Amino acid sequence: MKVILIRYSEIHLKGNNRGFFENALINNIRHSLADKKYKLVKQSGRYVISEFEESEADSIVETVRNVFGVYSVSLADEVKSDYEEIKKSALAIAPESGTFKVVCNRADKRFPLNSMQLASSIGGDLLENNGKLSVDLHKPQHLVNIDVRENGKTFVFTNSIKGVNGMPVGTGGKGVLLLSGGIDSPVACYMMAKRGMSIRAIHFHSYPFTSLQAKEKVLTLAKILKKYTLHMTVDVVSFTEIQTAIHEKCPEEFMITIMRRFMMRIAERLAKKYGCGAIITGESLGQVASQTLESITSTNAVATLPVLRPLIGFDKDEIIEIAKRIDTFETSILPYEDCCTIFLPKNPVTKPRLDVVKRVESVLDIDALVEQALENVEIIAV
Ligand code: ATP
Ligand code: MG
């Protein structure tokens, strides 16, 4: 019978909280396999999936591999703890050529051969069966693992497939993500979800200055991100009035700084409404004028919640590499405008002074603009 073995990572380390982490992990695995039929049990510090359609094995492995907290996954044969059965399975799964090593683990001391004897005997069988194989105990290309368990059954499997690691979503608090249509914020989302954060998104759009396609693009990104965050809701906030007011009443070079302060105020209000303890952005130090330390200081000044910027020390190249890996890149580069790009000043201040920013924005009725924006939030579950 085919089974899938799932090993988990860092959550091993969480002494008293272990149950909490394990529950979250198992719930998340179940959630991502919601459309499949299978049985899942916990067994000596790992999970075992069985009773699935064999034709779905690869897709289950691929899905589980991408659940945060999963260290590695193996597709294994489960056979009776009987030498001939183990041998048959080892011959069937063995590599076709190259170097290998048999690794045995014998939890069932009733099994007549000890680990060393079993490994060398099965190794001998494999060599005899296939002249293109040779043994390398130090740097083998392939492993043949044999795990003789206490319940009279044995797992036989080759190399394990790496999981994405991280922490199970739901164990790292809740945050709101400022999601634009760009490359960076989806990656920031992935990074925080990987550390176990539950995330919901906020998107500012400026219809009719920005198109409906721009909004659709963000919803498409949110859908892709849901694969990692497991749940995803986007609060779409209309930014048109605020941008128009800033454009009309404030000096052009402060446009972006003031705009970002509004985004932060609104994000904080929504975060508190949803019980979220952090605001996440895709900023990276020095990437653009609004991401200098001074700009970050003036944006931060209106927030009381921690603002998490997981990409702060990343180069654009590094961010793009992750975006490609997590499948958001192709959508992010679609050419629809973001609300940040309209009314873009020719010479934005790169080092805004907080006292000056406060003075130039004081001509606006900030509270009223924020309230008005909050009254018209469109909540979209993707
Ligand atoms: P990104 O690639 O994420 O758009 P960027 O390099 O274009 O980032 P900015 O446009 O300065 O940088 O935006 C910085 C951060 O502000 C974004 O990463 C995102 O978190 C947030 N942000 C920008 N525009 C919006 C928007 N329209 N709605 C929600 N958040 C936004
Ligand atoms: Mg952007």
Give the model's pLDDT for residue 119.
97
Give the model's pLDDT for residue 14.
63
Separation between Cα atoms, residue 196 and residue 193, nearest integer Å = 5
Give the model's pLDDT for residue 337.
77
185 alpha carbon – ligand 1 mean position (Å): 6
Measured in degrees and rounded to the nearest 5, phi and psi for residue 254 equal -100, 0
Q: What is the CATH number of domain 2-162?
A: 3.30.2130.30
Helices (H), the chain: 18-32, 57-65, 83-93, 115-129, 184-194, 212-229, 240-249, 255-273, 293-300, 316-325, 329-332, 354-361, 366-375
Q: Which atom of ligand 1 is nearest to the CA of 311?
A: 18
Class of 174-381 per CATH?
Answer: alpha beta
Range(s) of the chain covered by CATH 3.40.50.620 = 174-381
Range(s) of the chain covered by CATH 3.30.2130.30 = 2-162
Per-residue pLDDT of the chain (382 residues; tens, 9 = 90+): 999 999 997 665 667 778 888 999 999 999 999 999 999 999 878 999 999 999 999 999 999 999 999 999 999 999 999 999 999 999 999 999 999 999 999 999 999 999 999 999 999 999 999 999 999 999 999 999 999 999 999 999 998 999 999 999 999 999 999 999 999 999 999 999 999 999 999 999 999 888 899 999 999 999 999 999 999 999 999 999 999 999 999 999 999 999 999 999 999 999 999 999 999 999 999 877 778 999 999 999 999 999 999 999 999 999 999 999 999 999 999 987 777 677 778 888 889 999 999 999 999 999 999 999 999 999 999 9
183 alpha carbon – ligand 2 mean position (Å): 7
32 alpha carbon – ligand 2 mean position (Å): 30
The one-character DSSP state at 254 is G
254 alpha carbon – ligand 2 mean position (Å): 17
Tokens 């000043």 sit on residue: 345
Ligand nearest to the CA of 319: 1
Return the best residue to mutate from 177, 179, 180 for the ligand 1 pocket (most ligand atoms within 8 A of CB).
180
* pTM, entire model: 0.90
Is residue 221 within 8 A of residue 190, CB to CB? The reply is no
Q: Which atom of ligand 1 is nearest to the CA of 201?
A: 29
